Amino acid sequence: MPASDPANPQPTVVAEGLTKHYRVGDKQPGLFGTLRHFVKRKYRNIEAVREVSFTVAPGEVVGFLGPNGAGKTTAIKMLTGLIAPTSGRAEVLGFTPFDRKPGLLRQLTLVMGNKQQLMWDLPAWDTYRVNAAVYGIPHDEANRRVKAFAELLELEKELTQPVRKLSLGQRMKAELIAALLHHPRVLFLDEPTLGLDVNAQTAVREFLRAYNAEHGASVLLTSHYMADVTALCERVIVINHGRILYDGTLAGVVERFAPYRQVTLDLEQPVEAVVLAGFGEIEEHTGQTARLLVQRAALTATVERALSELPVLDLTIGDPPIEEVIAKLFASGEEDQDDRGYPENQENAEKEAAA
């Protein structure tokens, strides 16, 4: 690999025109459809990921967002070398992931919230010892790392219990220790807080933030919990139907895709909805409280008119929640797409293609 320039560090993750197609059987339902599929099989192509390009800088934490079936997991599997792209280029730390070179595998990790690597009937410590042997980590150093991680996650006592006896949150914390034991430089996190309660989610976020700060690791994070994204990421990539809709700052999502502000009115007396509608789009109206969506360009004039024409006791202005903005962005992506037979679950497409 070429020597890196400290003043201009090379990206740790590079995706250039990444594309993944699956060829799957197209079978009609019922007995006749099954017999016809057996005799004369028809196929269709599914474009799971289309011309995806982005980079991740050293130490950067990037949110990778999209609805179910958007292509997030497929893209991550290509970047970690689990599947090969149909076309395009993937590069992580200067390596081609699908070559699965030991030099790369020792420096990255993949955590999936719905998968586990811990041995079910044994304590987590036994998995850690196996992982330490695989990565060539000396016994004393492995113990030191596990204890340091366990202390951060408040998990010291649970590591000696069989994994099957741990709660979901405890298992996820133990999974993170296993995944980070070798101190990887690149983390691919696919729904790491899936199904966890609020306290466990917070603990996982704080742990990931601390790891990123201490080791300068690059992180590509997918999550349906926007609290994960807002707590950890300054930049987000939004993907839908396999193509990127947005790549930029988290704040920029609101500025670009929410051309309105939320205006909340506390009124001295109830006001009819038909009157409030003249000031903006009514998002919520209960009793003497109303929340309106007002175009940014008309905000000043609308607020001045509301204060003069309505019995306003209090007025607050804010941006819409990021969850709403992302949801609208997904919806706009749906409208822009033609019907190409995208599956609801990309993993099902992978299994069908492999069958």
Mean pLDDT to the nearest integer, 222-239: 90
250: left (phi over 0), alpha (psi -120 to 50) or beta: alpha
State the angle between helix axes of 139-153 and 124-135 in degrees (0 to 180), rounded to the nearest 10: 130
Q: What is the pLDDT of residues 268-300, one digit of tens each?
A: 999 999 999 999 999 899 889 999 999 988 999
Mean pLDDT to the nearest integer, 72-90: 94
pLDDT of residue 313: 94
pLDDT of residue 62: 96
Cα 248 to chain center, whole Å?
Answer: 15
By percentage, how much of the chain surpasses pLDDT 70? 91
Q: Are strands 289-295 and 260-267 parallel, antiparallel or unpaired?
A: antiparallel
Mean pLDDT to the nearest integer, 311-329: 84
User: Which residues does 165 contact at the CB level (< 8 Å), separation at least 6?
Assistant: none
pLDDT of residue 5: 53
pLDDT of residue 8: 63
Domain limits, CATH 3.30.70, in the chain: 259-318
pLDDT of residue 183: 96
Whether the Cβ atoms of residue 47 and residue 353 lie closer than 8 Å to each other: no
Confidence band, pLDDT 50/70/90 cuts, at residue 319: confident
* 13-254 CATH choice from 2.40.10.220, 3.40.30.10, 3.10.130.10, 3.40.50.300: 3.40.50.300
Residue 321 per-residue DSSP state: P
Confidence band, pLDDT 50/70/90 cuts, at residue 226: confident
Domain limits, CATH 3.40.50.300, in the chain: 13-254
What is the rounded CA–CA span in Å between residue 321 and residue 338?
Answer: 29
**Maximum distance among all alpha carbons in the chain?**
76
pLDDT of residue 6: 56
What is the rounded CA–CA span in Å between residue 205 and residue 187?
Answer: 14
Residue 87 pLDDT more than 80? yes
Q: Which two tokens stand for residue 21?
A: 């197609």
CATH class label, 259-318: alpha beta
pLDDT of residue 337: 46
Mean pLDDT to the nearest integer, 175-201: 91
Q: Which two tokens stand for residue 339?
A: 């019907």
310: left (phi over 0), alpha (psi -120 to 50) or beta: beta
pLDDT of residue 99: 94
Confidence band, pLDDT 50/70/90 cuts, at residue 225: confident
What is the rounded CA–CA span in Å between residue 144 and residue 152?
Answer: 13
Could you tell me the pTM of the whole model? 0.78
Residue 111 pLDDT more than 80? yes
Q: How far is CA 41 from CA 29, 30, 95, 236, in A?
A: 13, 15, 39, 41
Helical H segments across the chain, by residue range: 30-39, 72-79, 102-105, 124-135, 139-153, 168-180, 198-215, 226-232, 250-257, 273-276, 299-309, 322-336, 346-354
pLDDT of residue 332: 64
Q: Which residue has the higher pLDDT, 9 or 175?
A: 175
Q: Which two tokens stand for residue 179?
A: 């995944």
Confidence band, pLDDT 50/70/90 cuts, at residue 341: very low
Residue 33 pLDDT more than 70? yes
Confidence band, pLDDT 50/70/90 cuts, at residue 180: very high
